[in-house]
Amino acid sequence: AADAPAGSAANRAAEQHESAHPPQRALGRAALLAAAGLGCLGLPGAGAGYLALLGLMLAYTGVLPVLLAWLARTAAARLPADGLPLARMAVRNLGRHLARTSAAVAALSVAFAAAFGMAMMIASFRDGVNDWLLRLLNADFYAAPLAPEGGEVPPFAPGVLEALQHDPAVAALASYRRLEIPVDGRPVQLIITGLPPAARAGYRLLHGDPARAWAAFDAGSVLIGEPLATRLRLGPGDELALATDHGPRRYPIAGVYTDYGSEHGRALIHPATAARDFAPGAPASAGVFLKPGVDPQAARAGLEARLAPLQAVELRPNHTIVERSLAIFDRTFTITAVLRVLALVVAAAGVLGTLLALALERGREFAVLRALGLLPGELLRLLAIECGLLGLAAGLLALPLGGLTGLILTDIVNRRAFGWSLPLTLPLDALVQTVLLAVIAALAAGLYPAWRLARTPPAAALREE
């Protein structure tokens, strides 16, 4: 307001010229902000990823007026010169009032880019967890003793694992016993597990040769999950220091495997290796691999009946565990849908304020159009086309920023915060929804300003001017 020339400020109908803010200056500021954002990626910690994202978002909003002007010129060139007068007027108006429309487009673009980036991160996370579960949970059933009401799952009673192992329907058995050991101030799960070849095939090693890694595992080395390896900066050939029942001990690391089970980290150790350094104990769960040709339902009923005299044991199919795990995952991220709605409401409010300001500034322009014969319904259609174009531009311009946001959240923030790497997934449904919702939000925000303008008598607007 302080920088506005007095003559222009006194005349609400004064045109806003792009020459007041040349594209070169905007591009120069955007380049500096982008460089500062990218420079933050060299800083440690997950917070540096958010700082980088903030710098890149500010840089992108700096070049939005240039991109919006290019879109307006491109759209105007594609429209026929002897038809669609309202559409041609709407496209020209989009480019003529960049100082106002670019702010509305920026508000919508950033909000929808954040929503699209979050959807991209969640889709990548879900695909990674789904693939990990399907590979890891490859046994036919997973057996665990039934826990008392409100209590923890007890270990297997004596003779239960032996009965499972020697059952005629069972081909192999994988046992799991978990210990919690603090490492570098955080709890790490040490899983004492005897894994048959079928169970070992479910672990995807990120570093290390699989054959050599499993041979070293049998000989006394450990396998560590990716979060633990990332946090402690360890890899094959290094050693993992653990506090055992007989004092500190260092275990050679044979390999690093994909793991989304704990952000603090997990490690696998062979039962024979653990027997030297930890107190004996019974496993609390087991993976049951059936022989080929065995009916799963009949085998499950028979196994539960034979184990009942020893201990109440539940056998869950692998697909049930996968479905339940993914359902928990989806519930965990339900809050992000609420955050997306809040972001869209805030953006729509910003667009509403911009359109109301434009309605004030362009009152004389619309009054002249009405005096020349433009009907109220035609004025409403003109404003609806302008709002739709504004939303469409915001949605299209949100996609590059949203993709960049999703990339930083998925590949940088998640890796630094939790230690795991995620596959990059582009959710096509979220991509289409971003554009459609941007158009709907802009149209909804433009309803009230358009209604006010259509009801304003042209004589009153001209006389006020």
Amino acid (1-letter code) at residue 33? L
Res. 464: pLDDT tops 70: no
Provide the token pair at 86: 């309202």
**Residue 441, CA distances (Å) to 159, 239, 362, 381 in order:** 64, 56, 22, 17
Res. 449: pLDDT tops 90: no
Report helix, strand and coil shares of the chain as percent, to nearest 5.
60, 15, 25
User: How many structural domains compose the chain?
Assistant: 2
**Are residues 187 and 181 in contact, defined by beta-carbon separation less than 8 angstroms?**
yes
42 by DSSP, 3-state: which? coil
User: Average pLDDT of the chain?
Assistant: 85
Condensed to tens digits (0 to 9), the pLDDT of residues 86-96 reads 888 888 877 77
Provide the token pair at 55: 């710098």
Provide the pLDDT confidence category of residue 10 given band limits of 50, 70 and 90: low
Does 360 lie in the same domain as 263?
Answer: no
Condensed to tens digits (0 to 9), the pLDDT of residues 112-171 reads 898 899 889 999 999 999 999 999 999 999 999 987 776 777 889 999 999 998 999 999
Containing structural domain, residue 378: 26-133+331-464
Does 341 lie in the same domain as 194?
Answer: no
**Chain centroid offset of residue 369 CA:** 47
Q: Which residue among 277, 311, 345 closes a domain?
A: 311
Query: In terms of pLDDT, which residue wins out, 346 or 280?
Result: 280
- Dihedral-angle region of residue 21 (phi above 0 means left; psi in -120 to 50 means alpha; beta otherwise): beta
Let me know if 56 is exposed, middle or buried by CB neighbors in 10 A (0-12, 13-18, 19+).
buried
Rounded Cα distance, 252 and 250, in Å: 7
Does 418 lie in the same domain as 388?
Answer: yes
Closest alpha carbon to 336 in 133, 126, 56: 126
Does 300 lie in the same domain as 178?
Answer: yes
pLDDT at 262: 86
Does 266 lie in the same domain as 202?
Answer: yes
Provide the token pair at 231: 């946090």
Rounded Cα distance, 290 and 133, in Å: 19
